[in-house]
Chains A and B, each alone.
Chain A
């Protein structure tokens, strides 16, 4: 996993609520047996028409907006547990997703892939949408170490929540499996002493 460093970037606005994982990556693209290439089909049904041509009115096809941060309406990533959704978002080139609310599994999957979900207040979020509207070059700064996110247009900063352990993992570029493998003896001990043996 790549280490997460402070980022300052323009951002791509997606002011839609309840964006579910079937929109992020439709099921018919889940047939791959490796993790590569999902970014090409991120938001496929919104992004391409029936013949596979880009739809000009969808934000990812609009050259006005770019950057490594996606800003989305509340309850982003609901629905299926497919980690492919996180692979698609990060495969496209995003390093962080900002919303006022994330679905649980999506949040976990993102963290396990070095993609940072940042939860902000509804006001902060609507400012971001408004500011990018008037100035597509507006930027956000995310400092994971300090747990702050700043809207560089109005200078407002919020502190966001992240589990300290997960934060450490992201900063160090380590994943959970390294930790679990180091606890093999504890696991075997647990197996011997459990309340009920299935």
Chain B
């Protein structure tokens, strides 16, 4: 009896070092401009080629501007990094979706939407949110640059086998509650280190009912509680999503694949190292109040007090609230905000924009709010036009920018100014993540939509 994780891991084990890590074979490797240049330098220094070029795909996303992408990139240092990516793609014979390419976008958005991401695979990228791809029933995790070099050189890495954890969500999510809320709830309960050393499988009724976009949001955030990754067993929802995607198997190969993918589930009675069960019906829309993703409360709730924290805990907690300009015990609802950011590999998919657009339809953007709407990819941007969402958003006073990571990590010009509050659909509210001094409140696209039209933290369920 095996867990889904064990089945995939074992199927990818090339050799095992005694008392040491496993040599794991990697099916799919994604690269972007920030964490790859030193790896390509390493190959050059060692005089190596890329071992399996067709299994690595490159995209430019972290460092790219979200307007005037047809013009040369202004920041010379960013430009050099992007040029280096292009040069490396050419020299090593790799596929690159550069700025402006119709398949370009945030790495964890374009993998799935082009059908690169498939059940049963091992998938890595020099980016922690690679866990996103686990939504398809794949072992997907982020790696460092040295490991990027290993994959390029040998299509393998050395990894210690993580422990396994299952998190069950019973019941269904209530109206107005999304996968983002479910994830923030889970992280606030288990803390940011609560799953360190584990690979998580999500299961239960609430998970089965999620569409692929929502599953990706949940798996994406696995890393924020320290997990190596998160995965969900593939089912009809998965196959439906993948069918006819550009790089998904076609014809007979498709049937064979589905046949195999159907075997990818945890056997009844298989044991996990740890198991949790949550009642999904208890979850409310969530917001964060502090400077790590575990500092979240339900939107109707209050910021916790210092009670029960030890000395170091108190110092960290106070430092965090000082940074945010909040006080212990305060209510979150009604707090004024300045920015709204919709985007990133957490919530920058078409489904997220649909949710946002449906909510703001017929309403108007609040005057005090600057809103940045950044689709996760060119495909998503095109869909916004095709589905008529672009128009709805424009009428409500919102403007759409061009795809990329943008204010998720603020490497480009999209920086939230110091001291300003941003309700953001991203994954990290760390100090300075969205710009030096920026104050981030993580939330779902729905909560962000309610904030965008009222200018303050608002429970979306009370507005519609």
Contact = CB atoms under 8 A, between A and B. Distances in A.
Interface of A: 15-18, 20, 22-23, 26-28, 30-35, 45, 50, 73-75, 78-84, 86, 101, 103-105, 108-109, 112-113, 126, 129, 163-166, 175-177, 179-181, 183-184, 186-187, 190-191, 194-196, 198
Contacts of A18: 192-193, 292, 316
Contact of A180 (B27, B84, B156, B226): B156
Contacts of A50: 436
B312 A180 contact: no
A94 to B, nearest CB: 17
A108 B128 CA distance: 13
B147 A108 contact: yes
Contact of A176 (B128, B150, B430): B150
Contact of A34 (B41, B46, B192, B409): B41
B193 A103 contact: yes
Contacts of B193: 18, 74-75, 78, 101, 103
Contacts of A109: 144-146
Contacts of A17: 312-313, 316
B146 A22 contact: no
From A18, A109, A163, name the one whose CB has the most chain B CB atoms within 10 angstroms: A18
Contact of B77 (A31, A81, A195, A198): A31
Contacts of A166: 20-21
Contact of B23 (A27, A80, A180): A180
B34 interface: yes
Contact of A75 (B20, B27, B143, B192): B192
Contacts of B78: 31
Given A180-B153, A190-B14, A78 B126 contact: no
14 contacts: A16-B316, A23-B430, A31-B78, A78-B292, A83-B145, A101-B196, A105-B128, A129-B312, A166-B20, A175-B146, A176-B157, A177-B149, A180-B23, A194-B25
Contacts of B17: 165, 179
Nearest to A190: B14
Contacts of B62: 30
Interface string B297-328: 00000000000000011011001000000000
Given A22-B431, A30-B34, A31-B81, A78 B226 contact: yes
A194 to B, nearest CB: 7
Contacts of A108: 143-144, 147
Contacts, number: 192
B455 interface: no
B195 to A, nearest CB: 10
Nearest to A196: B260
Contacts of B158: 165, 176, 179-180
B3 interface: no
A185 to B, nearest CB: 10
Nearest to B229: A104
Nearest to A125: B312
Contacts of A113: 146
Nearest to B19: A164
A33 B38 contact: yes
A155 B17 CA distance: 36
From A129, A195, A196, name the one whose CB has the most chain B CB atoms within 10 angstroms: A196
B220 to A, nearest CB: 13
Q: Lowest 4 A-B CB distances belong to which pairs?
A: A165-B20, A81-B142, A83-B144, A33-B37
A33 B147 contact: no
A184 B48 CA distance: 13
B456 to A, nearest CB: 26
B400 interface: no
B212 to A, nearest CB: 19
A182 to B, nearest CB: 10
A34 B409 CA distance: 20
B211 interface: no
Given A176-B146, A177-B46, 17 more contacts: A16-B312, A17-B313, A20-B428, A31-B77, A31-B81, A32-B37, A80-B128, A80-B409, A83-B146, A101-B193, A103-B193, A104-B162, A105-B143, A112-B144, A175-B146, A177-B150, A180-B156
